[in-house]
């Protein structure tokens, strides 16, 4: 995987800009990766709904759950779909709105310094091998681009928002991710 350090774009990803982003605080570089899990509607995979959520075009009449979330203004830097396709919504050097109320090692507002990577999935459904392989390759590229990101600064959404969030869930295999990262290092 290749990241253009000037534009903050992952070359291998389809680009679909989200309006739900802004500049990071002055002189702040990303130094945290937050792994998320998402499916829309909950438990369903495929379709245009994640793209629509992150671009504020979600039609609330398509599914009852969409009425509950239609007003959300959220985004992520990157989505890795179940078949491995990747979509980038926000350049890595900008602030995506993915973490919400959050804290890591005493620092609040993880959006300020975090990179959000969504995996299409659900807490109790195993993620696919290609998702893990792409995730490991993206993490490796991010750690080469942003030197403040180290292995101990790769966390799940549940780790920075305990009690509020559960993703990427119990089905996420952290050991498998660590093995893949070590084999790339």
**Catalytic annotation on 118?**
yes
Q: Cα separation of 45 and 81, whole Å? A: 9
Q: Cα separation of 33 and 42, whole Å? A: 23
Residue 79, Ramachandran bin (φ over 0: left; ψ between -120 and 50: alpha; else beta): beta
Ordered DSSP codes for 70-102: TT-----SEEE-TTS-EEE-S-TTSEES-S-S-
Q: CB 5: neighbour CB atoms within 10 A?
A: 12
Q: Which of 68, 118, 120, 151 is catalytic?
A: 118
Active site residues: 118
């Amino acid at each position: 995987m290749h990241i253009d350090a000037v534009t903050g774009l992952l070359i291998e990803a389809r680009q679909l800009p989200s309006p739900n982003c802004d500049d990071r605080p002055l002189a702040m570089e990303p130094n945290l990766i937050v792994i998320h899990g998402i499916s829309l509607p909950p438990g369903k995979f495929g379709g245009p709904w994640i793209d629509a959520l992150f671009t504020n075009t979600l039609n609330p009449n398509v599914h009852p759950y969409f009425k509950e979330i239609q007003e959300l203004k959220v985004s992520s830097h990157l989505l890795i779909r179940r078949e491995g396709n990747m979509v980038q919504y926000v350049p890595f050097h900008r602030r995506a709105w993915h973490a919400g109320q959050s804290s890591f090692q005493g620092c609040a507002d993880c959006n300020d310094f975090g990179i959000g990577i969504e995996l299409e999935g659900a807490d109790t459904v195993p993620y696919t091998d290609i998702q893990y392989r792409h995730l490991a390759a993206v993490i490796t590229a991010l750690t080469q681009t942003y030197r403040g990101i180290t292995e101990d600064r790769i966390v799940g959404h549940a780790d920075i928002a305990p009690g509020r969030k559960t993703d990427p869930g119990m089905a996420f295999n952290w050991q498998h991710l660590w093995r893949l990262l070590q084999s790339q290092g």
